[in-house]
Structure 1
Amino acid sequence: MNKYEEIAKQVVEHVGGISNVEALTNCMTRLRFTLKDLNKADVKKLEAVKGVQGVVNKNGQFQVVIGSDVSHVCDEIKKMGSFSDTIQTKTEHVSVINRVLGAITAIFQPVIPAICGAGMLKAVLALLTALSWVSTESQTYVLLNMFADAAFYFLPIYLAFSSAKYFKCNPYIAAVLGAILIHPTFSGLVAAAEPVTYFGIPVKLVSYGSSVVPPILIVWLQSYVEKFANKVSPNAVKVFLAPLIEFFILCPICLIVIGPLGSVVGDVLYVVFDFLNNQARWVIPVLMGAFCPLFVMTGMHYSFMPVQLAQYATLGYGTLLGPGMLASNISQAGACFAVALRTKNKELRSTAISAGTTALFGITEPALYGVTMRLKTPLWCVMVSGGIAGLWGGLVNMRTYASATAGITALPVYITDDMMNVVNAVICIIIALVCSFVLTLIFGMGRKNKADKNFEEAKQAESANSQSNSVNTYSSIYSPLNGKLVKLENVNDDVFSKKVMGSGIAIFPESGKVCAPFDGKVNTVFPTKHAIGLTSDEGIELIIHVGLDTVELNGEGFVQHVQDNQEVKKGDLLLEVDLDFIQKKGYDITTPIIVTNSSSYIDVIETDKTQIKIGEECIKVFK
């Protein structure tokens, strides 16, 4: 087993098992889960897993911070089961604002790699042009510029597709709605600037290339119209009639109502950006530089992306994220390097050097969770330094011209005709690095290296959690029947013998009493009484299926003694079965006992006995 498999298995176990995972995806450093039941996740045990930097539960998203290896861990988890990759925001007890922010984050998350990649391509092109290696008059420049612009110009299509997955409607219809906004014919009408009407209704001519708000709003509306269209369309013609209804309703609304509404939002944002740039240009970089670590902790930094893209669309450059995040990220690096210099703990030194180097390139979670937040005072040093460096960026009006991860490799996105913009970015990096390094050196470690003591205490706490997790490494399931044990692979039913439903054992019963195999709860007694589903207090999900094909008896020969959702103790009577009656009817009474969430555990081992009695251990489930 490689290290990624080990991390993956432990993470899955501590989020409540495979059966508790509704959706899973990853960003650059985090596993992002939608869990069916957040209460099943054990944060302390997750944080004790070697390889986990931290845990964040925000807006219904359960985030496990891994670092740069996150994609490998995510791949290993996806091998364990089939999950949706669309992360939903759980709305119970979540404010409207947090729901909106959660939705924005979920919609933009899949699109960000394309935007960042295209942004870096623009940065490379700017660098090639600045060095006079590529002429702006050449076809090479035209093609490279086209490659980079495609991700931004066709953004309405990508966002529509991503929004459809979030709002659970047809993503291909959504993509068509996004494409309508930027269709060449409509773009031509906009360029011609002549009045356009639809059945006499005026259509506002707006250029929607790179737009953000309209595609999200139109797909949100689509999610309701689609339900209506599917409901009123007869099954025989639903395949074409439902989409026809959607297009007939949504297309005009898209261009007449929602599109112009989005443009109004853009106009308002332009006024706000223009005011800030002219009257208080230092405010945003200072706030972002100082509070970026808090945004990263909660995953809120992705929520700013729509506004940043709107700023690019209205002004042609960005000041919202780039300068402030550059100041903050480099400050994380400076603090880590100071910790590495002062600490006497070899493990902390190694962690700090690695995390600081990663932070230089814009990935700060290892620094945040592994060093600065863990040691506390260095985090305050980072926030002060980020604010100071952000102030410089604001005063000199630092601007980015494409989206990129805010680190030293992002310097090309500051390239413009005014090369002082790049010089100012370099100065910002130096201010952040030096200021954070010095402040952490002076204040961050405390007298007599108090930070080392904090680190040791944190490690001891994690070790204690880890040790407590290693106790009782398996749970027991006790026999619900008296009888002869049968290997599951020898059961005369492929669903059980091939372990389609999970691992377990079977019993050929010698008496008709079926008792509770552990302390837990009855999930369901099947209407035909031939099978019963239970969940143990430790989370084991079990089905006791009395006989094969006995569902056909419609309850004859079975007496039910418990109800759905009833709490039971080991040994409580669940069912009474007339075994002679069932056999006379020609049915096999072999009773499979299946752990249906087997994939949530390392292994399920049956006893090697041949005969067993009620209450004797028959299965061990290893955590």
Structure 2
Amino acid sequence: MAYEEIAKIIVDGVGGRKNVNSVVHCTTRLRFKLKDDDKAKTDVLKDTDGIVTVVQSGGQYQVVIGNKVADVYKAVLSELGMDEQEASSDEATGSLLDRFVDLISGIFAPALGYMAATGMIKGLAALCLSMGWLSDKSGTYLILNALGDSFFYFLPVMLGYTASLKFKVSPFLGMVLGATLVYPTIVGMNPATLAAGGAKPLFTLFAGSIFASPVYDTFLGIPVIMMNYTSSVIPIILAVWFASKVNKLTEKYIPESTKVFLVPFTNLLISIPVTLLVIGPISTWASNAVGAASIALINFSPILAGLVIGGLWQVLVMFGLHWGLIPIAILNMASGADPMLVLTFACSWAQIGAVLAITMRTKNEKLRGLGISAFITGIFGITEPAIYGITLPRRKPFIISCIGGALGGAIIGMFGSKGYQMGGMGVFALPSYINPNGGIGMPFWGTIIGALIGFIVGLVLTLMFGISKEDLVEEKVAVATPAGNVAVDTEEVDDLDTENLSVLEDISSPLNGEIIPLEKVKDEVFASKAMGPGIAIQPADGNLYAPADGKVEMIFPTGHAIGISTSNGAQIMVHLGMDTVQLDGKFFETHVKKDDEVKKGQLLISFDLEEIQKAGYDMETPIVVTNFKDYQVVEPLKNSGAIKVGDEILELK
């Protein structure tokens, strides 16, 4: 089908020109932001020749095309009547809820790794203290506790950095704003600290109301209502947003010759007083109100709250809507403890209970292998392989896992369990539920009981109602042939004698690192092998080399992906990391261009692995054969372990 014909079907399928806010593309898919996703004709698009599949995630409507996505993108722009600048504009994309989710996820996502790590360390310190292994006066405990506390105490600095990236201003601007909020003198001006020291307020604003605020100091004669901003979330986000608006004005009116120092000088001189005088107090009052409302919901009926939050949590995670609860949890923890996120602890256990049931009953060896790996990773809270690879495609097991999460959440709510820091996932989250003051008690055991209930419900109900007839049938294997993919019985595959087929080509590793089975990567399009079979590698360094002699057929402008046609005819795609297209080329450097002839082992792309990971991106790198239909077998030579550049990884027959 011609690109123009596919473009017409796509534009009609996404609801027409008036339904499109923006569209960009990465190496494999068109990424639409639509005004109304309900107007899209997903089933029609999925059944269209030239379209691999459709994925809806994170406020984006993604149409997966494959290698020819750039050509289809141009045809789509022509059909929409947009140029690239207009099409890529992300202003006013989607509903307020979509934009809020995008904002929160964009600010918190880069910091979550270290947030979880420091939370786990703090949980470990609490465990050692509660078990009597360490004294609260010992140097070991003090250092571990300081390390665990550091991220959360200086959270405004961390979020100042990530918020500045989201609002497209200098990271140093956000960090200075955050550092000011937690500067020792500012912290010391907290009314609670001053009152404890015997200081008397100058006067009290809003006396007699719930917003009564003692004033101890002024700025240029204006009363300053001081708050405790350590571990706070909302004030710094609003402060950086305000500073980004001020930055536009200062950039516009300050002469070019003095911008390097006058722009930050003017911006900080305006933004910091406004933050302390207006944004800080108002946002803190609002944050406290939100935190109080969440606590009120728990106090009204923790069991009902557990049913609702536990039951819906996995759905919220799938669509990225769970980000809205993260600031509330942090606010609650800043006040002592959070009773909300702990209600979701049973969800991952209910999910792997359903996976275990399918793994136990299925006669499909490939599904059983995937189930075992998904079960193991699910124990550690990584449920994407379970959800996207097993339960969600079968629907009933996913619904059952939500039921298990709801019942487990209700049990957790009944025991009054709480979280005391942002810890890890799965079993690593358990230390987060130990009360640093009260130690291990019934609320902690209630969390474990709730997880067991969720697991048992997921396992038993799936065994009873969630096993499909297809999973009970002997395994069918998809064999790639020149005529296409043919599903045959395993006995028929044996008759094909694939072991003795001639090897047409071997593909070598383009990276140093660790091999990951392709079905375990976190992108469902690659994991499902919709783009073709292959493997994935977790890079050990920042260099990508040619896997064979050939020609560069495609290299994405951002440098995160490349397509090579080998001299023997294989078409190889390498995609560096997950969602790294969003870095817009930052941290990537290309050393070749389209149509260049390359030799095996030649350096193609270099990238700053450490900085990309610090920015919160997973660097799992799929290496797939996109013209797999030209072969009878595309076989990985290793499924795990270390790999070096030049080692053979794929055999094509």
User: Does TM, scored on the shorter chain, surpass 0.5?
Assistant: yes
8 A Cα contact 1:312 1:318, kept in partner: yes
User: Structure 1 pair 599/294, CA: closer, same or farther in 2 (3 Å)?
Assistant: farther
Where does 1:195-274 land on structure 2 (aligned, <5 Å)?
195-274=216-295
Deviation at residue 224 of structure 1 after TM alignment: 1.1
In structure 2, C-alpha distance between the alignment counterparts of 1:143 and 1:503, rounded to whole Å: 49
8 A Cα contact 1:48 1:463, kept in partner: no
Provide the secondary structure at the position in 2 that maps to 1:237: helix
Provide the secondary structure at the position in 2 that maps to 1:202: strand
8 A Cα contact 2:371 2:386, kept in partner: yes
8 A Cα contact 2:363 2:475, kept in partner: no
In the alignment, which of 189, 192, 195 is matched to residue 194 of structure 2? 192
In structure 1, C-alpha distance between the alignment counterparts of 2:595 and 2:454, rounded to whole Å: 46
**Is 1:171 paired with 2:191?**
no
**Is 1:424 paired with 2:446?**
yes
In the alignment, which of 334, 341, 355 is matched to residue 321 of structure 1? 341
Where does 1:427-506 land on structure 2 (aligned, <5 Å)?
427-446=449-468, 449-452=469-472
Which residue identity lines up with residue 204 of structure 1 in the other structure? I
Cα deviations across residues 326-349 of structure 1 (Å, max 9, x unaligned)? 211000110011001111111111
In structure 2, C-alpha distance between the alignment counterparts of 1:292 and 1:105, rounded to whole Å: 16
**Is 1:278 paired with 2:280?**
no
Counterpart for residue 332 of structure 1: 351
Where does 1:132-147 land on structure 2 (aligned, <5 Å)?
132-147=132-147
Where does 1:520-535 land on structure 2 (aligned, <5 Å)?
none
Where does 1:265-414 land on structure 2 (aligned, <5 Å)?
265-314=286-335, 316-324=336-344, 326-414=345-433
Where does 1:512-527 land on structure 2 (aligned, <5 Å)?
none
Provide the secondary structure at the position in 2 that maps to 1:337: helix
Where does 1:559-578 land on structure 2 (aligned, <5 Å)?
none
User: Structure 1 pair 63/237, CA: closer, same or farther in 2 (3 Å)?
Assistant: farther
CA RMSD of aligned residues (A): 4.1
Counterpart for residue 533 of structure 1: none
Cα deviations across residues 412-449 of structure 1 (Å, max 9, x unaligned)? 11112152222112211211111111000000114xx3
8 A Cα contact 2:120 2:428, kept in partner: no
Counterpart for residue 154 of structure 2: 154
Cα deviations across residues 355-404 of structure 1 (Å, max 9, x unaligned)? 11211211111000111011121111111111111110111111111112
Structure 2: gaps (5+ residues)? 1-22, 35-39, 65-87, 196-200, 202-215, 487-524, 533-561, 565-589, 600-625, 628-653
8 A Cα contact 2:364 2:474, kept in partner: no
Provide the secondary structure at the position in 1 that maps to 2:57: strand
Deviation at residue 21 of structure 1 after TM alignment: 5.7
Which residue identity lines up with residue 273 of structure 1 in the other structure? S
What TM-score, normalized by structure 2, do the two folds share? 0.59
8 A Cα contact 2:101 2:320, kept in partner: no
Deviation at residue 140 of structure 1 after TM alignment: 2.4
Which residue identity lines up with residue 156 of structure 2 in the other structure? P
Structure with larger Rg: 1
Higher alpha-carbon deviation: 271-280 or 224-233: 271-280
Deviation at residue 293 of structure 1 after TM alignment: 2.0
In structure 2, C-alpha distance between the alignment counterparts of 1:420 and 1:459, rounded to whole Å: 54
Counterpart for residue 611 of structure 2: none
User: Structure 1 pair 468/175, CA: closer, same or farther in 2 (3 Å)?
Assistant: closer
Cα deviations across residues 566-599 of structure 1 (Å, max 9, x unaligned)? xxxxxxxxxxxxxxxxxxxxxxxxxxxxxx9986
**Is 1:113 paired with 2:113?**
yes
Structure 1: gaps (5+ residues)? 1-18, 25-30, 65-87, 471-501, 505-595, 606-621
Which residue identity lines up with residue 442 of structure 2 in the other structure? M
Which residue identity lines up with residue 173 of structure 1 in the other structure? L
8 A Cα contact 1:59 1:89, kept in partner: no
Provide the secondary structure at the position in 2 that maps to 1:197: strand
Cα deviations across residues 225-268 of structure 1 (Å, max 9, x unaligned)? 10111111111211111111101211110100000012111220
In structure 1, C-alpha distance between the alignment counterparts of 2:391 and 2:123, rounded to whole Å: 31
Higher alpha-carbon deviation: 189-198 or 380-389: 189-198
Provide the secondary structure at the position in 1 that maps to 2:257: coil
User: Structure 1 pair 112/602, CA: closer, same or farther in 2 (3 Å)?
Assistant: farther
Provide the secondary structure at the position in 1 that maps to 2:417: coil
Deviation at residue 289 of structure 1 after TM alignment: 1.6
Cα deviations across residues 497-546 of structure 1 (Å, max 9, x unaligned)? xxxxx999xxxxxxxxxxxxxxxxxxxxxxxxxxxxxxxxxxxxxxxxxx
In structure 1, C-alpha distance between the alignment counterparts of 2:380 and 2:530, rounded to whole Å: 37
Deviation at residue 166 of structure 1 after TM alignment: 0.7
Provide the secondary structure at the position in 1 that maps to 2:256: coil
8 A Cα contact 1:59 1:90, kept in partner: no
Provide the secondary structure at the position in 1 that maps to 2:302: coil
Counterpart for residue 75 of structure 1: none
In structure 2, C-alpha distance between the alignment counterparts of 1:34 and 1:123, rounded to whole Å: 42
Cα deviations across residues 117-168 of structure 1 (Å, max 9, x unaligned)? 1110011111111221110122322222111111001000111111111111
In structure 1, C-alpha distance between the alignment counterparts of 2:124 and 2:185, rounded to whole Å: 32
User: Structure 1 pair 327/102, CA: closer, same or farther in 2 (3 Å)?
Assistant: same
8 A Cα contact 1:375 1:451, kept in partner: no
In structure 1, C-alpha distance between the alignment counterparts of 2:232 and 2:479, rounded to whole Å: 47
In structure 2, C-alpha distance between the alignment counterparts of 1:360 and 1:127, rounded to whole Å: 20
Which residue identity lines up with residue 312 of structure 2 in the other structure? F
User: Structure 1 pair 292/267, CA: closer, same or farther in 2 (3 Å)?
Assistant: closer
User: Structure 1 pair 214/503, CA: closer, same or farther in 2 (3 Å)?
Assistant: closer
Provide the secondary structure at the position in 2 that maps to 1:405: coil
